[in-house]
């Protein structure tokens, strides 16, 4: 939504009131990613998970506003090559200083509040407009950062008995996602929100034998192991043969060229007769991370290992660099 600049004092990001046309999708970099990639040979830094040490935009590593390294290539069995631009980002080789997360959040509080209130209002208005035509509103929870933020916004906007949360377990999930699901499920129970896990009645291994590995053009995995089981689960809960559902997702336009063309709300794009609503379509990764830090929300550990997106273990959309990280 908003443009950002680097804040050299906090080591974080600062939103500006300018509206962004395109985001480089910065992500926080924790010590574990630096260790996996071998940056520990070059720099010293605290091995503490509580705060990121720097940021990455694609393969560029940014420390207090300066590009200090990048990575090239990498594959399943080959470590990406490190290109070190600054051997001593801190004077005299002193340890790198983690981002001052609290101060960063304070400095972004006003713009974030505007964005959050607008989004909550949009969720509420959509619910009011469609509630007479829809059998069930549900958050399609994936375990990624965007769905964590969407769920939190929805639970602030709507009465807790007016929507469900459904996680479609593909049976190919990261173990970090399964851990997070268990924590989120418990949190939902404490908040009186119904949380369900939907699974296909057969294993992903059987599907691989039938269809072959998921491919970029033929991604049977999403339909067979996510969308269909989720809708079947909802039909089972409501004892309907067919139901009209509105799925609230964490889809964002800055994630890909295809998603930048999406509308906030659509009917039948994913499944015939079903509504899809993307409340944070205009949000950038900067705003997603700021919201998570401001509200102390859970972050899937996969992000701390260096993944920009959380999907399945053998996802055709995964980069070669990520294939290397998965092996570690």
Which residues sit opposite 327 in a β-bridge? Answer: none
Q: How many CB atoms lie within 10 A of CB 316?
A: 14
Quote the tokens at residue 137.
Answer: 């509103």
Q: Which stretch binds ligand SF4 (CB under 6 A): 116-124, 186-194, 265-273, 308-316?
A: 308-316
Q: Assess contact for 254 and 225: CB atoms under 8 A.
A: no
Q: Residue 22 CB, nearest distance to ligand SF4 (Å)?
A: 24
Which of these, 140, 163, 303, lies nearest to 222 by C-alpha position?
140
Instruction: Looking at residues 183 to 242 of the shown chain, list those that interact with ligand SF4 (rule: CB under 6 A).
Output: 214, 219, 221-222, 226
Q: Residue 48 CB, nearest distance to ligand SF4 (Å)?
A: 30
Exposed/middle/buried for residue 235 (C-beta within 10 Å: 0-12, 13-18, 19+): middle
CB-nearer residue toward ligand SF4: 200 or 299: 200
**How many residues comprise the chain?**
328
Instruction: Report the residue from 71, 150, 155, 170 that binds ligand SF4 according to the rule CB under 6 A.
Output: 170
Q: Assess contact for 27 and 303: CB atoms under 8 A.
A: yes
Measured between alpha carbons, how far is 184 from 151 in angstroms, rounded to an integer? 10
Site mask, ligand SF4, residues 8-37, x = CB under 6 A?
A: ------------------------------
Tell me, by CB under 6 A, how many residues bind ligand SF4: 11
CB-nearer residue toward ligand SF4: 99 or 325: 325
Q: Assess contact for 168 and 140: CB atoms under 8 A.
A: yes
Q: What is the DSSP letter of 260?
A: G
CB-nearer residue toward ligand SF4: 157 or 221: 221
CB-nearer residue toward ligand SF4: 155 or 170: 170
Measured from each CB, the residue nearest to ligand SF4 is 311
Residue numbers of the site for ligand SF4 (CB under 6 A)? 170, 172, 214, 219, 221-222, 226, 311-312, 315, 317
């Amino acid at each position: 939504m908003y443009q950002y600049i680097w804040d050299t004092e906090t080591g974080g990001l600062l939103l500006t009131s300018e509206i962004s046309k395109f985001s480089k999708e910065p992500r926080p970099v924790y010590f574990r990613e630096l260790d996996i990639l071998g940056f520990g040979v070059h720099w010293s830094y605290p091995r503490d998970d509580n705060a990121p040490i720097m940021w990455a935009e694609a393969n560029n590593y940014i420390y207090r506003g300066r590009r200090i390294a990048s990575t090239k290539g990498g594959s399943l069995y080959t470590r990406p090559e490190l290109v070190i631009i600054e051997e001593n980002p801190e004077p005299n080789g002193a340890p790198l200083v983690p981002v001052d997360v609290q101060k960063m959040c304070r400095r972004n509080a006003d713009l974030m509040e505007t964005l959050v209130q607008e989004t909550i209002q949009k969720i509420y208005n959509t619910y009011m407009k469609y509630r007479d035509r829809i059998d069930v509103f549900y958050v399609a929870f994936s375990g990624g950062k965007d769905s964590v933020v969407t769920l939190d916004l929805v639970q602030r906007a709507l009465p807790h008995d007016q929507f469900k949360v459904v996680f479609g377990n593909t049976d190919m999930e990261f173990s970090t996602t399964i851990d997070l699901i268990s924590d989120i499920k418990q949190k939902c129970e404490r908040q009186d929100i119904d949380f369900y896990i939907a699974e296909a009645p057969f294993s992903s291994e059987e599907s691989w034998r039938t269809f072959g590995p998921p491919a970029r053009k033929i991604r049977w995995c999403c339909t067979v192991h996510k969308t269909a089981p989720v809708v079947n689960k909802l039909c089972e809960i409501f004892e309907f043969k067919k139901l009209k559902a509105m799925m609230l997702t964490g889809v964002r336009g800055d994630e890909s060229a295809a998603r930048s063309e999406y509308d906030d709300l659509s009917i039948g794009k994913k499944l015939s007769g079903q509504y899809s609503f993307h409340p944070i379509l205009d949000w950038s990764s900067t705003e997603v991370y700021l919201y998570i830090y401001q509200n102390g929300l859970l972050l899937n550990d996969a992000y701390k290992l260096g993944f920009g997106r959380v999907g399945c273990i053998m996802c055709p959309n995964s980069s070669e660099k990520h294939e290397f990280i998965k092996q570690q």
